[in-house]
Amino acid sequence: MDWAGYLDGVSSTSSTEIRPRVVILRGHQANPWELRPWEQPAVAERFDVRFLRTGRGWFDTKSLGLGSEPVRSVRDLLPPGRIGDLAVRVPGDHYLGLRERLSGASIVHTQELGYWYSAQASKLRAELGFRLVTTVWETIPFLGTYRNARTRPYRELTLASTDMFLAATERARLALLLEGAPEEKIRVCPPGIDTTRFGVRRPAQPASPPMILSPGRLVWEKGHQDVLRALALVRRGLPDSPPVDARLTIVGTGGDEKRLRSYARELGLGDAVEFRGFIPYEEMPEVYASASCLVLASLPIWSWEEQFGMVLAEAMAAGTPILASASGAIPEVAGDRARYFSPGDWVGLADLLRGALSAGPADPQQDASEYSTGAAAARLAAAYTDVLAAG
């Protein structure tokens, strides 16, 4: 079928008309915050979109209004927990029966160069005749040298088979160029959030004592330990400044929770820090609304740096002041809508916190329209139209 001519002549599609079929592959990583733009009319009315849902998915996707299809993977057949995680490394994870799931697809949309499901889709592309679109968040060009023996061939397959790369940031685009992706096949396509949802009305009076919000996985590279250090300085009035009675809310889960709790107690912050764990996506707008500022203290490590920071877009929409480390793509995403400190500079962060906590009412809502689900959906629809027209 001439998809290019069909799509050019259609602004919306009724349920009785044939729409190009799009299958999203995210392995066990399908999540509601990334997939929201595919629910929007710009995509949903022109394309028949489904994502494959494994039995061991890391996130609850029930809140999504997006179609899904259950599919098994090797990991689904193994015991839960660490034993299964280790055992799956021997055969390598992969979807079972993927050929049947992708048969008839016009577009398969996968993610990253080194993921098993990107390689699996790459192997089926020529046989099944779909267009392969690959979203890339990675901002570090590992090439083959800095990848392990298993993921090197994944990278080669995905680079050779992808029809269009959607880089989440300009930094990711530059990394893709160094990886060897053709420049004409790359476009920058940032993700989207529900800006209306996060733009809730803030309380008339700021919280007392003021609350600092530090969201993110509880792992070293998210920098929560630096936020604790900065808070300890602020509350003690060091160096040579009045003490500030502030508290900290840490949102997220991860392997460092026990250590972070212990560290907070050692710093004398036991009563000033609340670990909220996982908070449902629908409840996060209220958390932003009650915060005096958001801190994203990400630290670069050899294998990762902040690739986007969805919380930055959410805080912009909520009007929550942002203090962030200048790590990875953070300055690109937040621009002049954040105040920055060097990664690991907890003393510099303490200085910024004093200013943010004494500034009075929160900032007005920032313009985050470029990161709305509607804007992201329009970018996706344009990319899909173009990749089909080129085919």
Q: What is the structure's pLDDT at 14? A: 47
**199-211 residues labelled b (16+ CB within 10 A) or e (exposed):** beebeeebeeebb
Please tell me the distance from the alpha carbon of residue 260 to that of residue 157, in angstroms, as a whole number. 40
The pLDDT assigned to 271 comes to: 94
Are 3-192+372-390 and 196-369 in the same CATH fold?
yes
Regions of the chain short of the pLDDT cut 70: 1-16, 200-206, 360-365, 391
DSSP conformation class of 47: S
**What pLDDT score does 2 carry?**
47
- DSSP 8-state class, residue 98: H
Spell out the CATH class of 196-369. alpha beta
Res 6: pLDDT: 44
What fold does the segment set 3-192+372-390 form as a domain? Rossmann fold (3.40.50)
Measure the CA–CA gap between 176 and 183, rounded to whole angstroms. 8
Residue spans of the domains in the chain: they are 3-192+372-390, 196-369
What confidence score (pLDDT) does residue 198 get?
87
CA dihedral 238, 209, 295, 377 (to 10 degrees): -170
**Interacting residues of 138 by C-beta distance below 8 A, sequence separation 6+:** 112, 113, 172, 175, 307
Per residue in 104-131, pLDDT (tens digit) is 999 999 999 999 999 999 999 999 999 9
Q: How would you class 148 by CB atoms within 10 Å of its CB: exposed for 0-12, middle for 13-18, buried for 19 or more?
A: exposed
Considering the entire predicted model, what is its pTM?
0.92
